[in-house]
Amino acid sequence: MYSEKVMKHFRNPSNMGELDEPDVEVQVGNPTCGDMMTVYMDIEKKGDDKYVEDVKFETFGCGAAIATSSVATELVKGETIEEAEELEFEDIADKLGGLPKIKMHCSNLASVAVHEALYQYRKEEGMEISQKLEKQHKSALESKKAVEERREGQGKVFEG
């Protein structure tokens, strides 16, 4: 079902773990399945630009979610924050040689996490925030809320 590249990133993901004292840390959720991803980023200023100096992730989800998180971090590491903001879930899926149709939503989790991290960074630094990033942030908040409600609901079921 998964391509060889997906399996490679799933078995041996890049950039998995936490950063000590990251410049920004965000958690996002996938409302389709309830999986969660946390992204840690260090941003460094070089000349006039700000770069994603380092990025790590922790993902609680399926194999595709782990593989897409791994590729997303590879794609944005070393990029300017403007370049990183352009990351789309299709870029992630392409880099993995495609994903099964029913798993495309998994690559969305990683792109949402990257956008949300950059939104939070811009907000904390008092930087300008584009309408696109603002919209992505609102959608990330709604998704996270839906996941939390879903988890609370499940908790109630388990509590009997």
The dihedral formed by the CA atoms of 29, 137, 57 and 158, expressed in degrees to the nearest 10: -20
> Of 106, 113, 117, 118, which residue is the catalytic one?
106
> In the range 38-97, which residues lie near ligand FES by CB under 6 A?
61-62, 64-65
Task: Please tell me the distance from the alpha carbon of residue 33 to that of residue 94, in angstroms, as a whole number.
Answer: 22
> Of 7, 33, 62, 104, which residue is the catalytic one?
33
Size of the site for ligand FES (CB under 6 A): 9
Indicate whether 35 belongs to the interface with ligand FES (CB under 6 A). yes
Our CB check for ligand FES shows the closer of 64 and 113 to be: 64
Q: Is 62 one of the annotated active-site residues of the chain?
A: no
Stretch that binds ligand FES, among 30-38, 41-49, 86-94, 128-136 (CB under 6 A): 30-38
Alpha carbon of 156 to those of 60, 144, 153: distances in Å? 21, 18, 5
Tokens of 45: 């200023």
CB of 81 to ligand FES, least distance (A): 25
Closest residue by Cα to residue 64 from 39, 35, 29? 35
Which class for 17: exposed (0-12), middle (13-18), buried (19 or more C-beta within 10 A)?
A: exposed
Residues with active-site annotation: 33, 106
Binding site for ligand FES (CB under 6 A): 30, 33, 35, 61-62, 64-65, 106, 109
